Amino acid sequence: MDASVPTRRKTKSPQQAFLAKTFHWVNIVALVLMISSGLQIYNANPVFGGRGGWHFPDLVLLGGWLAGGRDWHFAIMWVYSLNLFWYGIYVFVTRRWQHRFASSSDLKAVKASQNIKRKNYAWHRLVYTAIVPILLLAIASGLAMYKPAQLHWLSGLFGNWQTLRTVHFITVPIVVGFTFVHSVMALRAGTIRLVKSMFF
């Protein structure tokens, strides 16, 4: 073998914990089911435009009718919420939060760092952190609509029913947008291998 020819070193593929992979799979499946069943509920009484407002096509709906959509939505709500809850405990116990959530150094990196990788990493952590209150708002507004009588104090925080429905509906495209941005940033930070490592 010619010693002058440099050997190409194999880069080690990213490895993720089994619980992290499980969380991502459950999260994606539950999110799809919640959105499709939520749109079924929306079609029964659109948030915008009243009953004559814009409707979503049957192709993206789950449940078949209002009651069916509600049954699916509220059932998957528990799966989605508990999945986030247990992942939160996992992140706290394993101290992954130290590497996942933003700090003051990330704000400084976004403003002044000349290192592209460091700046991408900082943006990733900022976006990852910013989605937490949105998820809590989605769950809180969902619970307020699920049990408006029992949780009247919670639903009362939103002022009225239409505001509550609007807030809950708006959280959906934000979460979907986060999922897209999160994936793009993972691609920029670690190529497709990093994204694949979160599921396989």
- DSSP notation for 9-20: PPPPPP---HHH
In a domain, 2, yes or no: no
Query: Among 44, 67, 94, where does a domain finish?
Result: 94
How far is it, in rounded angstroms, from Cα 183 to Cα 48? 30
Stretches where the chain sits below pLDDT 70 are 1-16, 49-51, 97-99, 189-200
Examine the domain organization and report whether 45 and 139 are in the same domain. Answer: no
Residues 106 and 193 in one domain: yes
User: Residue 127: what are its φ and ψ, rounded to 5°?
Assistant: -65, -40
Q: What local confidence, expressed as pLDDT, does residue 70 receive?
A: 92
Residue 7 lies in a domain: no
pLDDT at residue 191 in the model: 64
Please tell me the distance from the alpha carbon of residue 114 to that of residue 32, in angstroms, as a whole number: 38
Q: How far from 9 is each of 6, 12, 72, 188, CA to CA, in Å?
A: 9, 9, 50, 21
- State the pLDDT at residue 181: 82
Q: What would the pLDDT profile of 28-75 be if each residue is shown by its tens digit?
A: 899 999 999 999 999 888 887 666 777 888 899 999 888 999 999 999
Query: Does 118 share its domain with 193?
Result: yes
Q: How far, in Å, CA of 82 to CA of 85, rounded? A: 5
Counting the structural domains of the chain, the total is 2
Whether residue 89 is found in the same domain as residue 109 = no
The verdict on residue 172 lying in a domain is: yes
Say how many C-beta atoms besides its own lie within 10 A of residue 34's C-beta: 23
Same domain, yes or no: 126 and 195: yes
- Looking at the structure, do residues 114 and 90 belong to the same domain, yes or no? no
What is the SS3 assignment for 3? coil
Domain hosting residue 69, numbered range: 15-94
pLDDT of residue 108: 81
Residue 57 falls within a domain, yes or no?
yes
Q: Do the domain assignments include residue 59?
A: yes
88, 107: one domain: no
Distance CA 82, CA 164 (A): 22
Q: Quick one: 157 and 136 in the same domain?
A: yes
Alpha-carbon distance of 160 to 94, in angstroms, equals: 40
Considering 39, 74, 94, which residue would you say is the last residue of a domain? Answer: 94
Q: Is the domain of 85 the same as that of 120?
A: no
The answer to whether residues 72 and 19 belong to one domain is yes
Burial 92-104 (b: 16+ CB within 10 A, else e): eeeeeeeeeebee
- Distance of alpha carbon 165 from alpha carbon 176, whole angstroms: 18
Residue 3 lies in a domain: no
pLDDT at site 144: 93
> In the prediction, which pLDDT does 32 show?
93
Residue 137 is predicted with a pLDDT of 93
Does residue 30 lie in a domain region?
yes
The verdict on residue 141 lying in a domain is: yes
Last residue of a domain, one of 30, 59, 94: 94
